[in-house]
Amino acid sequence: MFSVAAVAVTMFVSSPAWSAKDGKEVSHDGKFVSAKEMSFVMTAKGGKEHSHTLAADAKVTCDGDACKLADLKAGTKIRVTTKRGDKNVATHVEAIVKVATFAHTHEGKFVSIKDHKLVMMELKGKEHSHMLSDDATMTCDGKACKVDQIKAGMKIRVTTSREDGSHVTHVEALDKHTDFSQVD
């Protein structure tokens, strides 16, 4: 498992800085399996296992609070962020145990997109909008899709940038499925 020394190295060794605003991050969800040294194993869609190495400046959070990989238990739902083009190096691992959704994730119904402005109706009935990043990714029922395939009234889950919560980096839409867990 992860030692205190490894966590200290993870937190203090420097590496090139970049952010989601630069369009250089990609995230994917799955379940934590195990950790050893500076690497960990997770399962993704379909239960396929794969490994990541933590970047020197990686952040690990549990329900929004700083933690370490050693705190995670097998089966914990995680969102792993990697550098675009280097999918094996994790820059952020976000675990959720007690909360329902990952930070910077919003669910509701799709209203419209016009001039990069995405409008949605939250589950509580409040309408709000976010700016759609130029490199935002989109899926419909778990498969890559385009903006014009997302129709008014479809259930959506929007992920915004950690650095700027107003910019959407990923849109997941449901048409044939009724719940996001059916496509995760």
Residues 134, 59 share a domain: no
Kindly give, in sequence order, each residue whose CB lies less than 8 Å from that of residue 183, ignoring residues fewer than 6 positions away: 45, 139, 141, 142, 172, 174, 177
Which residues form the domain of 56? 4-96
Of 34, 65, 96, which residue constitutes the final position of a domain? 96
DSSP string, 10-59: HHHS------GGGT-EEEEEEEEEEEETTEEEEE-GGG-EEEEEEEEEEE
User: Which of 75, 96, 117 marks a domain boundary?
Assistant: 96
The residue-averaged pLDDT of 154-178 equals 79
Q: What is the pLDDT of residues 11-38, one digit of tens each?
A: 322 222 223 334 567 778 889 999 998 8
77 contact partners, CB below 8 Å, separation of at least 6:
29, 30, 31, 32, 95, 96
Whether 54 and 69 have beta carbons less than 8 Å apart is answered as yes
Separation between Cα atoms, residue 55 and residue 136, nearest integer Å? 23
Q: Are residues 47 and 109 in the same domain?
A: no
Instruction: Tell me if the pTM is above 0.75.
Output: no
* pLDDT at residue 13 in the model: 29
* Number of separate helices (H) and strands (E) present in the chain: 1, 12
Q: Which domain-ending residue is among 71, 96, 121?
A: 96
Query: How many Cα atoms within 13 Å fall on the side-chain side of residue 43?
Result: 11
For the segment 50-108, what is each residue's pLDDT rounded down to a tens digit? 999 999 999 998 888 899 888 899 999 898 888 878 889 999 898 887 766 666 777 88
Decide: 19 and 27 in contact? Cβ < 8 Å: no
Does the structure show a pLDDT above 90 at 42?
Answer: yes
CATH of the domain at 37: 2.40.50.140
- Structurally, the chain folds into a number of domains equal to 2
Q: Based on the fold, state whether residues 134 and 151 are members of the same structural domain.
A: yes
